[in-house]
Amino acid sequence: MNLKNQQALLGSSWTKHTRTTLLLWTLLLSITAVLSHTIDIASGQISCFFEDLHVDDKMTITFQVAGGGHLDIDFWLNDPQGNHLWNVIKRDTGTFTFTAIQGGKHEYCFSNAMSTVSSKTVSFNVHGVMYVADDAHMAPIELEIKHLASALEAVKEEQQYIVVREKLHRNTAESTNDRVKWWSLVQTAMVLGVTAWQVFYLKRFFEVKRTI
């Protein structure tokens, strides 16, 4: 094998290695960091957010009402044209995954307009994956890297959802414990009060009155 062929072979191997490395970093960086938020929405108010997406980008929104009122909230997601992609009323939790069919700002809102008294605490996660088209000339390892990145994203989404659910259950348990504690104290006070009244009444009932 002459020097020219050796250089060509070395260049081809280096190109494949570089391409695989770049693809790995691109896929890892293309997985948008999970944005976890907790917001308070006053009664009668609406909180809206925006995500700028490209065509075929994938986004998942998970929300959970962590406190306030009946633990319900209205939620909707609109495309850049203002059309509803998802709309739910009085929900305590929800998960929606979609693929953008057009680029631009996608708006999603949490509405507490139905409540005239109670504010709501809402925890939500937003995570997405930038679209990377399949290449017919991709090496098997490159395809595996892409599939692995998608699987990792799915695991991360599920983990974030579990965290939100655990937080809600913990808050519910703590709230229930507080209510049981205060109700027990009220019951104890009532029993003591009734007992004291009965003792006083019986003493008065059996009291011997002397006539002077």
Sheet holding 46-53, edge to edge: 46-53, 104-111, 73-78, 84-91
Higher pLDDT pick, 160 / 9: 160
Q: 31 near 84, Cβ under 8 Å?
A: no
User: Using one digit for the tens of pLDDT, what is the confidence trace for 44-70?
Assistant: 999 999 998 988 888 888 898 888 888
Q: What are phi and psi of 108, to 5 degrees?
A: -135, 140
The residue among 177 and 158 whose pLDDT is bigger is 177
What is the predicted pLDDT for the residue at 45?
A: 95
Residue 32 included in any domain: yes
Domain membership flag for residue 38: yes
Q: Is the pTM of this model over 0.85?
A: no
**pLDDT confidence band for 138 (50 / 70 / 90):** low
pLDDT above 70 covers what percent of the chain?
70
- Is residue 186 assigned to a domain? no
In a domain, 43, yes or no: yes
Number of domains in the chain: 1
Give domain status of residue 164, yes or no: yes
With respect to residue 140, please indicate whether it lies within any of the assigned structural domains. yes
116/57 Cα distance (integer angstroms): 38
CATH number, domain containing residue 26? 2.60.120.680
Establish if 212 belongs to a structural domain: no
Is 80 contained in some domain?
yes
User: Are 127 and 60 contacting, i.e. CB atoms less than 8 angstroms apart?
Assistant: yes
User: Domain limits at 126?
Assistant: 3-169
